[in-house]
């Protein structure tokens, strides 16, 4: 492992142990390629933590130009985070006024509830969850705030998207803010029976900037982190750090019950992979029963090695579409769930198929062969899948 990556890993945590502090001081005395370190921190979206810890541990050992550059990134992130949070609270206030239950998550909420500091985590957009029967009202509120759907849909496409998807992206051109409006927490092809009504019933009250809002229960919050990591193929160090910090702030978590809950939902492998990555990459302590469960599934170690090689090797890369499909397929539990995953991914007609060609309702069944042909052309004939 390059010393720059080891230094980055030592700093990517809100609480640095005495041993890691000693190692940080040792590493900065070596021939560190500071440009490589800064690029890696940006790529992994952990520049705020890198600056925070270097400033606290050994600022005198960091080249002044390097420290000033990281400080500049940090200040920009602080301003952006507070701006995004202020806009989120304005929107939540309007949802409350109109009687729509909403749960914000990820972004500033994760920063506040897990990192205990809104400036230590970089985030780019806002995510809110509503019940499916409130989606149209929620969209109207967002439109009144100046947000527009990134992919405009007609009424037929919108109705189909509600059935075949779980989110829709909106963008404010003036403010340059993206909002993902969710009515589900995982792609339908994951086939996870996670009841949104139950998620709302289990939600808790949290206060941020003097405003009381609803947030996920700890159990649901952790599952969402692991599901998102699996869905994205674990994009970078930040997603692993989210898991590690959650473990740190929830020392009394009943992990046995959580694993049981994950098993019932069909996402146990996703949860075990998240836990194993946090342990392997950031030294997060795991209870013996969690370690024992991981040892029962050797594939978890294999997938962890693949993720680490991809993220921390010489050539950091993202998974392409087909690689991502295969990665998430391996996290499905059992043959039946794997078949459901493949069916759910390939077969349901979605709004993109309707946009590809417009057919009268009587010819709707023709969309299925059209979809198959479109997917083969997109992914099977040398297409990039983008």
Residue 25 in tokens: 């001081």
Residue 352, phi then psi, degrees to nearest 5: -70, -30
Are the beta carbons of 109 and 215 closer than 8 angstroms? yes
72 is written with which tokens? 């500049």
Write the pLDDT tens digit of every residue in 93-139. Answer: 999 999 999 999 999 999 999 999 999 999 999 999 999 999 999 99
Average pLDDT over residues 46-62: 97
**pLDDT value, residue 337:** 92
Other Cβ atoms less than 10 A from the Cβ of 256: the count is 12
Mean pLDDT, rounded, of the chain: 92
Lowest mean pLDDT among 13-22, 166-175, 317-326: 317-326
58 close to 23: Cβ distance less than 8 angstroms: no
Could you give the 3-state DSSP secondary structure of residue 227?
Answer: helix
pLDDT digits (tens, 9 = 90+) for 198-226: 999 999 999 998 999 999 999 999 999 99
Check residues 19 and 358 and name the one with the higher pLDDT.
19
User: Sorting pLDDT into bands at 50, 70 and 90, what band is 379?
Assistant: low
Q: Are 70 and 47 in contact (CB under 8 A)?
A: yes
pLDDT of residue 370: 84
Residue 130: both structure tokens together: 């509503």
- Whether residue 380 is predicted with pLDDT greater than 70 in this model: the reply is no
137-186 per-position pLDDT tens digit: 999 999 999 999 998 888 888 888 888 889 999 999 999 999 999 999 99
Angle between helices 255-265 and 288-295 (to 10 degrees): 30
Q: What percent of the chain has pLDDT over 90?
A: 77
Q: How many CB atoms lie within 10 A of CB 151?
A: 11
Residue 385 pLDDT exceeds 90:
no
Q: Using the Cα atoms of residue 264, residue 269, residue 274 and residue 278 in order, give the sign of their dihedral.
A: positive
pLDDT tier at 256, thresholds 50, 70, 90: very high
Q: Where are the alpha helices (DSSP H) in the chain?
A: 3-11, 18-29, 34-43, 47-57, 64-97, 107-113, 135-144, 155-164, 196-202, 218-232, 237-249, 255-265, 268-282, 288-295, 298-312, 321-329, 334-346, 351-356, 367-375
Look up the pTM and report it: 0.92
Distance CA 206, CA 213 (A): 5
pLDDT digits (tens, 9 = 90+) for 289-306: 999 999 999 999 999 999
Among 154, 155, 156, 158, residue whose Cα is nearest residue 168: 158
């Amino acid at each position: 492992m390059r010393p720059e990556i080891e230094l980055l890993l030592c700093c990517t945590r809100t609480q640095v142990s005495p041993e890691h502090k000693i190692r940080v001081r040792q590493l900065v005395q070596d021939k560190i390629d500071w440009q490589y370190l800064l690029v890696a921190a940006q790529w992994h979206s952990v520049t705020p933590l890198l600056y925070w810890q270097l400033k606290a541990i050994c600022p005198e050992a960091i080249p002044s130009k390097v420290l000033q550059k990281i400080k500049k990134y940090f200040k920009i992130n602080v301003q952006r985070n507070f701006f995004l949070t202020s806009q989120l609270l304005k929107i939540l206030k309007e949802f409350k006024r109109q009687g729509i239950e909403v749960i914000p998550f990820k972004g500033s909420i994760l920063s506040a509830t897990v990192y205990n500091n809104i400036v230590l985590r970089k985030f780019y957009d806002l995510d809110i969850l509503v019940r499916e029967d409130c989606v149209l009202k929620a969209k109207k509120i967002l439109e009144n705030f100046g947000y527009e759907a990134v992919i405009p849909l007609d009424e037929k496409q919108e109705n189909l998207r509600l059935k075949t998807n779980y989110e829709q992206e909106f963008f404010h051109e003036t403010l340059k803010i993206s909002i993902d409006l969710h009515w589900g927490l995982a792609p339908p092809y994951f086939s996870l029976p996670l009841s949104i009504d139950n998620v709302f019933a289990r939600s808790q009250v949290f206060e941020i900037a003097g405003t009381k809002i609803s947030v996920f229960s700890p159990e649901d919050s952790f599952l969402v982190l692991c599901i998102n990591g699996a869905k994205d193929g674990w994009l970078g160090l930040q997603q692993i750090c989210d898991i590690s910090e959650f473990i740190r702030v929830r020392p009394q978590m009943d992990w046995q019950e959580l694993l049981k809950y994950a098993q019932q939902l069909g996402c146990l492998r996703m949860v075990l992979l998240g836990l194993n990555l946090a342990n392997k990459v950031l030294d997060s302590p795991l209870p013996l029963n969690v370690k024992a469960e991981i040892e029962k599934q050797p594939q978890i170690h294999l997938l962890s090695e693949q993720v680490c090689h991809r993220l921390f090797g010489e050539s950091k890369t993202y998974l392409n579409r087909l690689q991502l499909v295969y990665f998430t397929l391996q996290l499905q539990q059992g043959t039946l769930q794997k078949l459901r995953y493949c069916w759910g991914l390939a077969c349901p007609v979605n709004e993109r198929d309707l946009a590809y060609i417009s057919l009268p309702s009587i010819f709707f069944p023709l969309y299925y062969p059209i979809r198959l042909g479109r997917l083969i052309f997109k992914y099977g004939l040398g297409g990039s899948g983008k």
